[in-house]
Chain A
Amino acid sequence: MCAPIMATKIPEAPKVGMVSLGCPKALVDSERILTKLRSDGYQMSADYAGADVVLVNTCGFLDSAKEESLEAIGEAIAENGRVIVTGCMGNEAELIRQKFPQVLAVTGAHQYEAVVNAVHEASPPCPMHSSIWCPKAASS
């Protein structure tokens, strides 16, 4: 006999957008950040509109690349508003904050933990999820 199942609304996982600039080495950093966030329960958003927070992984190798990075930050702020900056331009936090005081956090290249923490702070992961979907809890 089947017991009636209570329909509870599962809260939606927060969605993260990613703008990855620069070389393949920076792209791998983006992949590692997204892999960590996915395992923390975040979903990915392919557009600005659907994202709860947008990460901009910047390039700071040449001045032209920095210009492009600043433009990308500006676009993400205009299109979404909730923006975290990471990557090679992260060591110029002052310049970034001066231009875009709204950015939620600025972290440097290769600082996976710092950027993941910044995302947690900006859009906390949903703790409900791990208890609902935990395969061990479901089988025991």
Chain B
Amino acid sequence: MPNAFVDLVPEGGLKLTPRHYSYLKISEGCNHRCSFCIIPSLRGDLVSRRVDAVLREAEKLVHAGTKELLIISQDTSAYGVDTRHETRQWKGRDVRAHMTDLARELGQLRTPDGATPWVRLHYVYPYPHVDQVIPLMAEGLLTPYLDIPFQHAAPNVLKAMKRPANEAKVLDRIRKWRDICPDIAIRSSFVVGFPGETEADFDYLLQWLDEAQLDRVGAFRFEPVEGAAANDLPGAVPEEVKEERYQRIMEKTAAISAAKLAAKVGRVLPVIIDEVGEADEDGSVGATARSQADAPEIDGNVFLRDVGEGLQPGSILNVLIEDADEHDLYGVPHIQG
């Protein structure tokens, strides 16, 4: 049966994001059983898409105007575990369903005007093989950005969460990642007030954050979600203590973020334009953009002044960073010469 309406569907499918960035989901479900999370009961165990299907979708999106691909799943670094990393042909090459292979191939894509699209990895579980993608960032194939939820640092809290409890090694690995790719932006999220979290555990987390110097941090107050194993754990943390710890972690991470952003003042960085403003009475136009360290919706912005005519959402250009605050940067287009 021919279907006339297929012609009405844009090449990359119908999107709910702006044209210049797209989410690309590579798998569904999760094999982990973190005690605070009910997603496996909602979405089941890991089911990975075929790597050629993922790459074909990515290519279509990039042809249709996407400049930035956001790789998502429930567990991006587990990609292909369920299919034993099944190999498929792509552009005459054998490609495994594996995060590293996928990342390398995504880095070969080119926009219609020949540019390398930005490619971000989200929801990366801290497996050892995550180390393999950092060199790809240093080579420019992947955007130097890693969204890797650590959830906590204190070993007994991580154990109660049923998470890998090798936080000291994680600090070593972060150091090595920064040696390989100094500009890597690391985003993570943490739960405070998890059952059994003592004041000492929380202090340990704050000290760990001082060491780790993460670029972007999201924090959540523990919530007992119906059906989660963590609800039955002893040592529930009172609401007011959770709130106090939440305020303290936010304060700590805001200070780290402010210092990291302040260090970017004076540098020239590539940004992608999200929105171009209206001209003000002097005729100057501003724009809202993001650097490679900023994923859409969840991270900060780079606010630009005097961007001139003809700039479109999705344009990528170099800007001189002039100012910074806790979460955002401020800059102006950088004219070479």
A-side residues, CB < 8 A to B, are 18, 20, 24-25, 27-28, 30-32, 34-35, 38-41, 44, 60-64, 88, 91, 108-110, 129-130, 133-137
Contacts and interface: CB of A to CB of B under 8 A. Distances in A.
12 contacts: A24-B23, A24-B122, A24-B297, A31-B13, A38-B9, A40-B5, A62-B225, A88-B42, A91-B42, A130-B1, A134-B4, A136-B2
Given A61-B38, A63-B225, A35 B4 contact: no
Nearest to B298: A24
B43 interface: yes
Given A61-B39, A61-B225, A110-B29, 8 more contacts: A31-B13, A34-B16, A39-B9, A41-B5, A61-B37, A91-B42, A129-B4, A137-B2
Given A110-B28, A130-B3, A134-B4, A24 B70 contact: yes
A38 B42 contact: no
B73 interface: yes
Contact of A135 (B4, B24, B226): B4
Contacts of B38: 60-61
A41 B17 CA distance: 21
Given A39-B5, A129-B4, A108 B73 contact: no
Contacts of B6: 39
A64 B221 CA distance: 11
A16 B39 CA distance: 28
Contacts of A108: 42
Interface of B: 1-9, 13-17, 23-25, 28-29, 37-39, 41-44, 70, 72-74, 122, 220, 223-226, 297
Nearest to A125: B5
A100 to B, nearest CB: 19
A18 B37 CA distance: 26
B2 A39 contact: no
A24 B42 CA distance: 16
A27 B223 contact: no
Contacts of B74: 25
Contacts of A31: 13-16, 23
A132 to B, nearest CB: 8
Contacts of B29: 110
A88 B14 CA distance: 21
B8 A20 contact: no
Contacts of B17: 27
Contact of B72 (A25, A34, A40, A41): A25
A129 B5 CA distance: 9
Say what secondary structure dominates the interface of chain A. helix
B5 A38 contact: yes
B223 A63 contact: yes
B50 to A, nearest CB: 16
A69 to B, nearest CB: 13
Nearest to A57: B16
Contacts of B43: 88, 109-110
A-B CB proximity, top 4 nearest:
A133-B4, A35-B13, A35-B14, A28-B25
Residue among A20, A39, A41, A108 with max Cβ neighbours from chain B (10 Å): A39
Contacts of A63: 223-226
B16 A109 contact: no
A88 B25 CA distance: 16
Nearest to B27: A25
A62 B73 CA distance: 18
A88 B44 CA distance: 11
A41 B5 CA distance: 6
Contacts of A38: 5, 8-9, 14
A17 B292 CA distance: 33
B4 A64 contact: no
Contacts of A18: 16
Contacts of A134: 2, 4
A133 to B, nearest CB: 4
Residue among A20, A62, A88, A134 with max Cβ neighbours from chain B (10 Å): A62
